[in-house]
């Protein structure tokens, strides 16, 4: 079967944790499709649960089962298209059930398969509840690592968070602060810098990306007085990246590199651990942040928030981050198409 032209392909949106806000924000995003100028997307979920959720939330969202992404793209202007994924048990909002873990994983697997098979343009993932998935046999730290596994990557995955005028990349991700310090290496920083620079060109259309590298210690170590990681680990990585021809600066004191004027001086910041990256991006744009996996053979984005079990099914969930994730996935896909065609 011949794949459809890339411009006609919808995005593949996963179920996420069914007891969380994924369904709520999916319905709200579709309802805002015109005013937000959203690209078409097809949801991999249980259509009956989404239809019932729409009624309970008072949202006039017609839900329709489809048999293919192409059918979903044609239907998108009139109804929310859903490729069915069977749940193990009925869903109770705010109460994750490990019996539904297989469906959550199957939704991710199928979304990736659709993109790899040329039937969908990109993967957009709703938030998962990792504790529930672990009980169902999930063995990966998070979405990012699992998608890298599905893509067959041997290198560590790279996570970017993007919001407003700030993009950040944590070099170490889902580990404790103690382990992050122990795991930080020159090689890991080099890998993150190379993948980030390449993605900024391929996926964001930035011809000559500028990277800013954060220090690990207060005042970027202050010449070794507050730690030698900058001297022994970070500066050698910066030297290699510069030798590659990448425009890179640092190590910068982390407390002075995220204000508005500083952000104008770079296109992405490499941060040394999870919260060093996520605190500024969530402060700059808490509702509109997007999680992006770099270095995959396909585009993947996600809302930059969790399952919000406490407000699931109440109508309080904000769809801004999912809307931003859908638009970012479309933007990145089109940039990849232009780059590959040039």
- State yes or no: 300 annotated in a binding site: yes
- State yes or no: 274 annotated in a binding site: yes
What is the chain's percent helix, strand, coil content, to nearest 5? 45, 15, 40
Q: Contact at 8 Å (CB) between 250 and 215? A: yes
Measured CA distances, 22 to 15, 243, 287 (Å): 7, 44, 15
* Residue 291, SS3 per DSSP: strand
- State yes or no: 143 annotated in a binding site: yes
Q: Residue 167 is encoded by which pair of tokens? A: 């993009």
Cα distance between residue 152 and residue 274, in whole Å = 24
Nearest to 52 by CA among 77, 24, 13: 24
- State yes or no: 291 annotated in a binding site: yes
Residue recorded with tokens 């199957």: 106
- State yes or no: 318 annotated in a binding site: no
Cα distance between residue 99 and residue 74, in whole Å = 33
CB atoms within 10 A of CB 223: 10
Cα distance between residue 54 and residue 306, in whole Å = 21
For residue 171, which phi and psi values (nearest 5 degrees)? -70, -40
Q: Residue 312 is encoded by which pair of tokens? A: 């699931």
- State yes or no: 144 annotated in a binding site: yes
Cα distance between residue 290 and residue 162, in whole Å = 5
Known binding-site residues equal 143-144, 174, 219, 274, 282, 291, 300
Known binding-site residues for a divalent metal cation equal 174, 219, 274
Known binding-site residues for substrate equal 143-144, 282, 291, 300
């Amino acid at each position: 079967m011949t794949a459809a032209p890339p411009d006609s392909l919808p995005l593949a949106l996963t179920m996420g944790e069914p007891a969380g806000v994924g369904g709520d924000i999916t319905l709200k995003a579709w309802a805002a499709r015109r005013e937000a100028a959203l690209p078409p997307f097809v949801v991999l979920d249980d259509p009956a649960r989404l239809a019932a959720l729409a009624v309970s939330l008072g949202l006039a969202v017609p839900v329709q089962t489809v048999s293919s992404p192409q059918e979903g793209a044609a239907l998108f202007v009139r109804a929310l298209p859903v490729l069915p994924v069977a749940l193990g048990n009925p869903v109770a909002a705010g109460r994750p059930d490990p019996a539904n873990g297989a469906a959550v994983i199957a939704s991710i697997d199928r979304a990736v398969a659709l993109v790899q098979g040329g039937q969908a343009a990109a993967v957009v993932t709703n938030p998962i509840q990792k504790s529930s998935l672990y009980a169902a046999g999930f063995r990966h730290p998070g979405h990012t690592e699992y998608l890298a596994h599905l893509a067959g990557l041997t290198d560590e995955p790279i996570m970017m968070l993007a919001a407003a005028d700030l993009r950040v990349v944590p070099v170490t991700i889902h580990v404790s602060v103690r382990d992050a310090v122990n795991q930080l290496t020159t090689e890991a920083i080099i890998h993150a810098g190379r993948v980030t620079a390449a993605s900024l060109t391929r996926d964001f259309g930035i011809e000559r990306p500028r990277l800013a590298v954060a220090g690990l210690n207060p005042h970027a170590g202050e010449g070794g007085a507050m730690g030698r990681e900058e001297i022994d680990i970070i500066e050698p990585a910066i030297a290699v990246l510069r030798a590659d021809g990448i425009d890179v600066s640092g190590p910068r004191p982390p407390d002075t590199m995220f204000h508005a004027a500083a952000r104008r001086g770079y296109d992405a910041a490499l941060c040394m651990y999870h919260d060093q990256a996520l605190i500024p991006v969530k402060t700059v744009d808490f509702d509109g942040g997007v999680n992006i996996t770099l270095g995959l053979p396909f585009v993947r984005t996600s809302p930059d928030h969790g399952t919000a079990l406490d407000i699931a099914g109440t109508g309080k969930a904000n769809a801004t981050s999912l809307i931003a994730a859908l638009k970012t996935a479309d933007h990145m896909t089109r940039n990849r198409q232009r780059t590959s065609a040039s």
